[in-house]
Amino acid sequence: MEQPVYDVLLCDLDAFFASVEQLDNPKIKGRPVIVGGNPDQRGVVATCSYEARQFGVHSAMPMKKAISLCPMAVILPTNMARYKKMSEKVLNVYKRHTSVIEQVSIDEAYLAVKSGTGIHIAHRIRLNVREDLGLPLSIGVSVNKLLAKIACSLAKPNNVRAIWPKDVENILWPLSVRVIPGIGEVTGRKLNMLGINTVGDLAAFPFDVLQDVLGNNAFKIKEYALGRDDRTLEQDRERKSLSQETTFPRDIHDPDMIMKTLYELAAELGYSLRSKAVKAKTITVKVRFPDLTIKTRSLTLSGATDDDEKIYATATGLFEHFRAKPPWRLVGINLSKLEKCGQPSLFPEDPAKEKITMLMDTLRQKYGKNALFKGRRLQ
Ligand code: TTP
Ligand code: MG
């Protein structure tokens, strides 16, 4: 096998929003802290400190339930501008150690460093972030993204852990198949029905049967189960556009169904923009008809946006052009003319909007598209 030229680190801050709050107010250090929306307005938990996790509280749980599980917790609203600032400071620490960085989200980044130096550098970065910035950080180290990410989840909280290719059998294989990217709840259950519970079961399973369950993803997932992953780091890659689309299992005649779908797509894209700290200026709606013809319609806004509602409103306006031409087989939204945000990308000057955005982001992460739509209806 070819010798890897670099080690990959996955750095993920621990209980990020809650840790920033504890840093800013030392009185709540060591206490259960829950950060999220207003419990009286169906707010949900964005995150909570590890002290609160012991009571069963977790991200995306309704605030009310979280408070009933942990009544002594300190409850705080989110302050995205503050978290964004800390995220930038953390990134600056990473930059002192390597120039090859892929920022995945506000608190997560892949770093590549010279082969053989990964563990040493990981410990130094963890200490720097802890001592210079006061934030707890966990780091997974390996030769690829997959193993680094899984190693980080094993390291948490506040530690460094490595999984090398020689450890795949002992460390990776006993874990649940759900640790493999692309295996969610539904696929996980299908695999369980075949008797595949651990990554080791998956690695040993005949490929042709896997293909029936996993379709086109079968090869990639089998590779992951063997601890192999050839994804490279996307360093500061200037993305030209972001897209989301839904193909319906049957022809859709009801425009309301399209509206719901556009809402879900807009929310996913808004979330992607915010997590990549970019905004989009051009919004394009794509529609496919039963005869497979595709039509698009675009609008360039006067100012770039990362606001779900704005994307949704623009997309529905564009869809009006196709409203009189049912049925539809696919609908999609493409965002282009992307611009990097100089400013925090959420809406600190508008707490109500921030709350709604966070609610949508958390619902989307936890429950997927349907809950997200429900979340909107509830407001
Ligand atoms: P995560 O890294 O998933 O969570 P975390 O940093 O709070 O905890 P840990 O990594 O130690 O498990 O997400 C980073 C931040 O993103 C988190 O602090 C709050 C925010 N977030 C939400 O707003 N909603 C969510 O559903 C999740 C999972 C995270
Ligand atoms: Mg984190």
What is the secondary structure of 130-168 as a DSSP string?
Answer: IIII---EEEEEESSHHHHHHHHHHH-SS-EEE--GGGI
pLDDT (0 to 100) of residue 364: 61
pLDDT (0 to 100) of residue 379: 32
- Could you give the residue ranges of the DSSP H alpha helices within the chain? 16-24, 50-53, 63-69, 80-97, 118-128, 145-155, 185-193, 199-204, 207-214, 218-225, 255-276, 308-323, 351-367, 369-378
pLDDT (0 to 100) of residue 216: 82
Ligand 1 binding residues, C-beta < 6 A:
12-17, 46-47, 59-60, 106-108, 156-157, 358, 361-362, 365-366
Nearest ligand, CA of residue 354? 1
CA 1 to chain CA mean position, Å: 32
pLDDT (0 to 100) of residue 346: 39
Q: Which of 107, 137, 354, 361 for mutating ligand 1's site (highest number of atoms within 8 Å of CB)? A: 107
Nearest CA to ligand 1 atom 15: 16
Torsions phi, psi of 111, nearest 5? Answer: -125, 145
Nearest CA to ligand 1 atom 5: 15
Token digits for 334? 């493409």
pLDDT by residue, tens only, the chain of 379 residues = 455 689 999 999 999 999 999 999 999 999 999 999 988 888 899 999 999 999 999 999 999 999 999 999 999 999 988 999 999 999 999 999 998 999 999 999 999 999 999 999 999 999 999 999 999 999 999 999 999 999 999 999 999 999 999 999 999 999 999 999 989 999 999 999 999 999 999 999 999 889 988 888 899 999 999 999 999 898 755 567 899 888 888 899 999 999 999 998 998 899 888 877 789 999 999 999 998 888 999 999 999 999 999 999 999 999 999 999 999 999 999 999 998 775 444 344 456 666 666 666 666 655 554 455 434 433 3
pLDDT (0 to 100) of residue 147: 98
Q: Compute the distance between CA of residue 169 and CA of residue 356 in angstroms, rounded to an integer.
A: 44
Catalytic residue among 2, 102, 108, 354: 108
Contact by Cβ (8 Å): 38, 65: no
Nearest CA to ligand 1 atom 23: 46
Our separate counts of H helices and E strands in the chain read: 14, 12
Residue 170 DSSP code = I
Determine whether 131 is an active site residue: no
Q: Which atom of ligand 1 is nearest to the CA of 36?
A: 23
pLDDT (0 to 100) of residue 41: 84
Nearest ligand, CA of residue 371? 1
Q: Which residues contact 110 (CB under 8 A, 6 or more apart)?
A: 8, 9, 10, 11, 101, 102, 104, 145, 148, 233
